Structure 1
């Protein structure tokens, strides 16, 4: 599903950013460009990011979460 129409960012793009090591909204934004223009997608993007991090942590409980 498209999360950010302005930049053409999908939920898969955000999930891939998390899989590649992004652990904060800032890191996800830098990688994907999500919420870089109008910002209306930020809430949805953050939710997708949190869900992806939670899912990844459930598979690997030893994975450190960077603050």
Structure 2
């Protein structure tokens, strides 16, 4: 879903940026441009950041035991 129409940023873009270490809204703004135009997307972007705290996905480890990594 598009979160920031002005900069064509999706929720997936925000989650990917967070997984790459951009964990604060100011980081997301700097990285993706979210909130630097009209500002209507800021609240939704913050909700997406907050809702993906501690989420993990299963990634099979072919060399042995399974491991969990941040989603």
TM-score range, shorter chain: 0.7 to 0.9
Between the aligned partners of 2:49 and 2:24, the Cα distance in structure 1 is 8
Scaled by the length of structure 1, the TM-score of the pair is 0.77
Q: 1:53 — aligned with what?
A: 53
Show the 5 A alignment for 1:1-67. Answer: 1-56=1-56
User: Unaligned regions of 5+ residues in structure 1, if any?
Assistant: 61-67
Scaled by the length of structure 2, the TM-score of the pair is 0.73
User: Unaligned regions of 5+ residues in structure 2, if any?
Assistant: 57-67
Count of matched residue pairs: 58
Which structure has more helix as a fraction of its residues? 1
Q: Which has the higher contact order (CA 8 A, sep 6+)?
A: 1
Between the aligned partners of 2:53 and 2:28, the Cα distance in structure 1 is 11
Q: How much is the aligned-residue C-alpha RMSD, in angstroms?
A: 1.4
Which structure has more strand as a fraction of its residues? 2
Between the aligned partners of 1:34 and 1:6, the Cα distance in structure 2 is 8
Between the aligned partners of 1:52 and 1:22, the Cα distance in structure 2 is 12
Conservation of the 8 A alpha-carbon contact between 1:3 and 1:44: yes
